[in-house]
Amino acid sequence: MNESKSGGLDLPMFQGVLPIRASQVPAEIIAGLTLAALAIPEVMGYTKIAGMPVITGLYTILIPSFLYAIFCSSRHLVVGADSATAAILAAGLIGIASVGSDQYVALAAVLAFMAAGFLMLARIIGLGFLADFLSRTVLVRIPDRGWHTGRIR
């Protein structure tokens, strides 16, 4: 987010999608279908690791992908759940609620909203420079999935 000339915040939208030429549309559709064919079964498996209902796997790929296409600027990054996040979620909640119960799902949702809130707060106060202290290996091995290291700025 940058400050606009009027003093408010300028929120760039659709920078990762626009401009798009008509000749690119078929390739983009194929890329989207390929991503869906790979990512949907993957996140459904992650929901089993996390102890969540399988339908939540679809939410973890569809909603972030849609929002990322609107608000972010890179065509090359992929957002969504990963196995490490699923395992950490399960390990953190298994002692608090029984796996798959309504309470477990509610606690997972609260945890997800808290993480989103912390990421937005980090974005607002400009903590993106902290990514400069991470090694290249960490940044390459954890490619913007769960960690938004390069996008906080």
Residues 37-91 have pLDDT tens digits of 988 899 899 999 999 999 988 888 888 888 887 877 666 666 777 888 899 999 9
Q: For residue 139, what pLDDT band results from cuts at 50, 70 and 90?
A: low
DSSP conformation letters of 62-87: HHHHHHHHHH---SS---S--HHHHH
Return the percentage of the chain with pLDDT > 90, whole number: 29
The pLDDT of residue 149: 42
pTM for this predicted structure: 0.69
From CA 111, how far away is CA 93, in angstroms rounded?
Answer: 10
Domains in the chain: boundaries = 2-151
The pLDDT of residue 150: 44
Closest CA to 112 of 71, 149, 151, 81: 81
pLDDT at residue 5 greater than cutoff 80: no
The pLDDT of residue 106: 95
Q: 99: left (phi > 0), else alpha (psi -120 to 50), else beta? A: beta
Closest CA to 116 of 71, 51, 77, 83: 71
The pLDDT of residue 6: 53
From CA 17, how far away is CA 61, in angstroms rounded?
Answer: 18
Q: How many CB atoms lie within 10 A of CB 70?
A: 13
